[in-house]
Structure 1
Amino acid sequence: MKNETGTYVKLGLFVIAGSIILMVGAYMLGNQQNMFSKTFEITTRFKNVNGLQEGNNVRFSGIQVGTVSKIVMENDTSVRVHMIIEETIRQHLRKNAVAMVGSDGLVGSMLINIVPGKGSAAAIAEGDTIQSYSRITTQDMLTTLNVTNENAALLTSDLLKITGNLKNGSGVLGHLMNDSLMAKDLREGLHNLNAASRQAVHTLNQMNRMIADMNFEESAASLILSDTVFRKQIEDIAASLDSSSRDIRQLSGELKTLTANINEGEGTLGMILKDSLMADQFRHTLKYLDSGMVKFDQNMEALQHNFLTRRYFRKMARKEARESNKQ
């Protein structure tokens, strides 16, 4: 009987201890999953969650503030992550916060780190979607390193080809490196260039000495720079040139006006140039004048052969001959 009583006591103690352990574990697990505190939900989008799972922790500035409740694949380039956050952190969390996937230590489980954004923003609300930042993964670094290695191999191959061509004397640079005559000419050219530069420096020094030795006080330069009378004459010449230029501009304007009037047929000259009837009359007048001159020459010729005036014309011819002989 005593043995049975002891057994029941032990069994009761075991049940009580197990119940206590179960209650403590349930409380700790529920507290870990935010089951006994007021929470709100926010979301974010990632291109790659890097092994993040439901139930992983969410930290804000390094403090545990919630857990990952759900991960949904929206399309081939976007993954939406739902997070349960403690209500007490709402006043510190802003809409411009940034979420990123990290790990708990070097080999720990994945988690989401939320960091405050730059500037000021309103407090976050239930169901808001915050920005995300995807860090460079080890696979991305390996891919980039692989591409870099391939490019380095190609560059090394090209450098080997270039050095081989240089050693064989191919191309201008290879020919220059292997041609001793061209190298000699290049050295002579550099020597001549050096000599020319030294000569130029020597010439400049001589010119500086000549300028320093010039007597500006007794030279024409002194007259130009310091003589007020000569300067006044220069100013008068400049004023005269300016006045002449204004007169020329005025005359040019008057000529343009006159030319415009002539083109429009104004004035006598414009009428002559534009009026076709007057032009015909002018041509007829010139024609009659030409005919009159011809008849006048004929009348003069007839007078020279007339017996009444023939002696006069002969006398004039002899007089002109004597004057010509004297000259």
Structure 2
Amino acid sequence: MSNEVKVGLLAIAAIAVSYWGYKFIMGKNVLLKSNTYKVYYPKVDRMQVGTQVFINGVPVGSVAKVALLNDVDRTVEVVLDLIPEMTIPKDTRAVIESTGFMGGKAIKLMYDKPCSGDDCAEPGDTLEGEFKGLLDSMVGEEAVGDYATVLQKSLQRIVDTLNYALLSENSQSPIAKTIRNLDATMANLNSSTAQLDQMLRRSSGNIQASLASVESITGNLERNNARISAIIANADSLSSQLVAADLQKTVNEVNTSIQELRGTLENANKAIAGISGVVDGINAGEGTLGQLVKDEALYRNLSNLTREADSLITDFQDRPYRYMPLKSRRKVERYDRQDLQETGN
């Protein structure tokens, strides 16, 4: 036998052993013939394939399939795989129970008596399904009432203890203090209400007299309604007259201001007319200013005179020695030569 054939056979054997081991871990021995039964539940609470099936605490099989049917109620179909030699009656109930607080599940097969012959269920039959909650699974149906009684008594003792610790007269808890303060507040409120009632009783006569006075005043107002209306009308007319008088006074003041403004404008027009006449005279050549404007020869003479005066002033500033008295001609010429040498001319 070649090495390739040996390796192939070894691989096939390894795959077969792995498949058997996986099925065995999931609770099914593929080397043994098994019986399968169907059970339908409204819910299974996260039960998985491989969940153990027990009879009186002894494992007799496992869950081979969990499937959700596509019906109206979304029923769950569970297939149970039991060992070959196991026989169960047709009226067997497959009860799902919780095995602990961590969510573990198991199926317990329950029936009244063993079967024989035609009373036994055939492989592929459908069993009755039942689901138990955590409390029923842990303590059983017969002990639920006892546990409920014990729980009720324990809760009652806890409530009594809390009531004494929080609400008793000697308790210093914030709740007890608040309740005592509320009782005191209610007592004060009742006392204040009683005092107010007595005060109203004593003052009922005064209140009635005050109401009578108010009624009398209202009657007088109703009887004198016409007079009051006339007074209001007269007040309205008087206020209208006052408004009209103030408006007439304002109009008179405005008219006076307009007259004064008109006089000021007339004086301004006269002044402007005088200035216009002076300008016309200047344009006509009247007076000294007019001759200066109109006579070009006079303008040129004044311009030449201005130029010569400016030259004389400039020469006086530059050569003041020429205009000093008692200076000889010879000194003046020497100064002129010095000025020429300094200026480089």
TM-score by length of 2: 0.32
TM-score by length of 1: 0.33
